[in-house]
Amino acid sequence: MSIWVYNTASNKKEEFIPREKGVVSAYVCGITPYSYAHIGNARPPLVWDVIRRFLR
């Protein structure tokens, strides 16, 4: 099964190919600490959790 992602650098959809077979990693920064917490702060961790579960 191929996974296609949108590459903002090339403005094209490209097939996702991991650097190391069977291993996928991503950098995900934490919450924005400069204001009060709100429901929007939960979106990034939730999205990355869904992606992680999909890739398993």
Q: What's the angle, vertex CA 40, arms to CA 34 and CA 45, rounded to 5?
A: 95
**For residue 10, what are its two tokens?**
């090339």
CA distance 3 to 51: 11
CA distance 35 to 33: 6
pLDDT tens column, 1-56? 789 999 999 999 999 999 999 898 888 877 777 788 888 888 888 999 999 999 88
| 56 CA to centre of own chain | 14
Q: What is the pTM of this model?
A: 0.62
Q: For position 44, what pLDDT does the model report?
A: 85
Three-state SS at 40: helix
Q: For position 16, what pLDDT does the model report?
A: 92
Max Cα-Cα span within the chain: 41
